[in-house]
Structure 1
């Protein structure tokens, strides 16, 4: 079975959709600051966004590892339990970073803003999911799962700014 990272790299349209509107680029895996997990578990940057944020795999293993996102402003959150879950989040709700209340109304408003800028978003999303072999859950389910991961399991994944020994602020507060 090929890895999802390899599949994204091989599928040009998928890589372009994930780069925008997903704001996920496999060529940006270096974080700008020296960081570590408070637990001492391994931390591996593997992708980033246009604003200097980084996606990290946590612990040992492959693409099934938990994924932590750290922005460039000192905020971090566990956002997915594995790369497939992260990619479903990016495909369904690329506006997830703008969510404050995680309500259906807020998500509809954010989705409408994205659709104004990217009118073919749904068609491109569906082609990307098919190319990567990912079944897509509902928007409500993917945002509920993000909330569950970030405010539940995620409390055990504290990112530390190594030079000062200070934790990053939670991006999603429960």
Structure 2
């Protein structure tokens, strides 16, 4: 596989970066955690961020961290659905609208994985928190592991593989059901 700089991939898939950061901000608002600063997209590292008040509640930290996975997956899936039915059924008459929807949907799905920073935040607020029960720690540990796999997996295009899997498999399942 070829190495393409992360900022170049983020530039091409910038809608996903924007939705990812917006998802963090939405979950901060839902959890009533004050947000200090938001950068939805920039051509530097990091490509986007949400700075918020430190979170002392483990549940709030969990949802703020995994918010992008939930929102990017659901939104990307619904945006991609009409396009993927046409494109992946291998029809030769691809409309510009469906190709545009495919780009937006795949971009959003590619940025569904929480970052290493999100995993570190969960480690600090949940795993290292003496007030959190061992049961919660046991349940959250695999989620943190999956976040790291997703974050490091982008080196081998795991984010694109995830986006394509959601884009191809979901329509096939829905077509079979209906």
The structure in which a higher percent of residues are helix is 2
> Scaled by the length of structure 1, what TM-score is found?
0.27
Judging by fraction of residues, say which structure has more strand: 1
